[in-house]
Structure 1
């Protein structure tokens, strides 16, 4: 009989900071809280805020990445992306952008033009997903996951649905391909509804309450913008929505390799960081217009 996965901590969002002029984020890890979430290296959470209308495209200008993947999940607002591999796209509420920087890429991300002109609510999550050493210098790729095409599991009795970004929920396989085992879902529950989430004991596991309020494992309470971090005990998580709620669920098998990080580079050894800086400075990440 599966046992409940123990709650290690319920974490409030750390103080926010700006990334560029378009993203006001709470960094839950690695700087906000020193928690083990390998293969997830970083989680920036843009809690819901209002942006005023503007003709200026707020965002982050051209910058490099190497050695990992960026995953951007949209809840409110719209974000446009361009990169030096020729990929571009816009994500709207419910969509996900999964960019594998791997051997090196330049990209820029900013508020989509029509959203910028009208303004309104904005809410996003961005994750850095580490790559194992053997894949860090693989070819960059880009996965655009439109919500309308995303794998979904309808919960019984009209309780809500689970959008399976990657992994598998009750036989429904997620849309994104990954380099290591990862479970990532948006769980959308109506008030009073329940859902069970599975995560092996050794997986690093957390959930964020994007909207609403929930009870976890019948005893712990979590509300909007809080993160629930789980211990390496048990394999099942029970959640119940106290009101209409949206929960982002993250679980992954740890890579357990050394990490060397400098700015936008995430490698295994310091000398690999030096090589990344040299390659960037000599134009080996390609070209992207500001």
Structure 2
């Protein structure tokens, strides 16, 4: 059976090894103020963690600006894909930046890092819609305690290919791995995705009405999932089975899988693939290790060292309102996307 499971996403996507989790954040943020805060706040929001899925937008753990103030990670990687809006990154190693509108940040937490992810509302004239995926990719035991690192995959540099089916086009952005001979940019050096033999593949698909695409046969051990996130009443056929918006499917990795948009709306899908890391997984809160004892050690290490401390004046820092997309690294080097 090519399609092994179809189910609703609910609070987060039920991912498969080597992935740990995947969050999909979509928010209709209002106009912003000069301080990049919402012009008005929704009533009854929970200041200790605003995750109301029925609300048009969330503050998450933000107080004035939406987002996630300083918090630690160890033992895995975060891959943050911002399809709409902007995110401001600050971390315990003095790195910071702004990215969005199709950019991807690839961060290896390794032995431990603190960072903040805030969502400044930059426009005062119009609404500030935001959409992002945050994907947690596991690290093998040999790399769980490497030095932290992060890399920007700017939207302008991410490889894209187009598949034409009887005049209807499917656009594929290759964030990781390979599709139709198109190779992604390299992730950080210690990533499970860096070795191409691990077949980590992350794709964003955008199918015009009636467009059709085939995911290739890869391997019998490959884990493969697909998630439909269009939000416009598009309908997708997956090997003869419907995949409605908000639904995901787990697919065979050793079969060709046909995906077709059967509606008059554009369909958007996320594909996650990878060979599993065949090691025990112990996860608690912001840490992903191989055993409960290592999780307890992570909490103890963070209590003692704070993973390098926090060099910023606030727990929720943001860049200047007029700052462009950029990344500043530990060595002081700054990087900007090519226009």
Q: How does 1:157-176 map to 2 (within 5 A)?
A: 157=167, 159-176=169-186
Aligned match for 1:240, one of 260, 274, 294: 260
| Count of residues in correspondence between the two structures | 266
Q: Which structure shows the bigger proportion of residues in strand conformation? A: 1
Q: Report what 2:104 is aligned to.
A: 96
Aligned match for 1:190, one of 208, 217, 227: 208
**Contact 1:164–1:186 under 8 Å retained in 2:** yes
* TM-score (structure 1 length as normaliser): 0.85
**Contact 1:90–1:112 under 8 Å retained in 2:** no
Q: Report what 1:27 is aligned to.
A: 12
Gaps of 5+ in 2: 38-63, 316-339
State the Cα distance separating 1:159 from its structure 2 match: 0.8
State the Cα distance separating 1:107 from its structure 2 match: 0.4
* TM-score (structure 2 length as normaliser): 0.73
Tell me if 1:136 matches 2:144: yes
Q: Report what 2:324 is aligned to.
A: none
Q: List per-residue Cα deviations over 1:58-110 (Å, max 9, x = no partner).
A: 11110000000011112222222111123322232322111110111000001
Q: List per-residue Cα deviations over 1:167-211 (Å, max 9, x = no partner).
A: 011111012424242011111211111111124221111011121
Q: List per-residue Cα deviations over 1:131-151 (Å, max 9, x = no partner).
A: 000010111111211111101
Gaps of 5+ in 1: 15-25, 30-34
Q: Would the alpha carbon gap of residues 225 and 115 (structure 1) be closer, same or farther in structure 2, given more than 3 Å must change?
A: farther
Q: Report what 2:286 is aligned to.
A: 264
Q: Report what 1:275 is aligned to.
A: 297
Tell me if 1:255 matches 2:277: yes
**Contact 1:215–1:221 under 8 Å retained in 2:** yes
Tell me if 1:51 matches 2:51: no
Tell me if 1:6 matches 2:2: yes
Tell me, in whole angstroms, the C-alpha distance in 2 between the residues paired with 1:145 and 1:86: 19
**Which portions of structure 1, spanning 4 or more consecutive aligned residues, are displaced by more than 4 angstroms?**
115-118
Tell me, in whole angstroms, the C-alpha distance in 1 between the residues paired with 2:75 and 2:124: 31
Q: Would the alpha carbon gap of residues 265 and 27 (structure 1) be closer, same or farther in structure 2, given more than 3 Å must change?
A: same
State the Cα distance separating 1:39 from its structure 2 match: 0.5
Tell me if 1:179 matches 2:192: yes
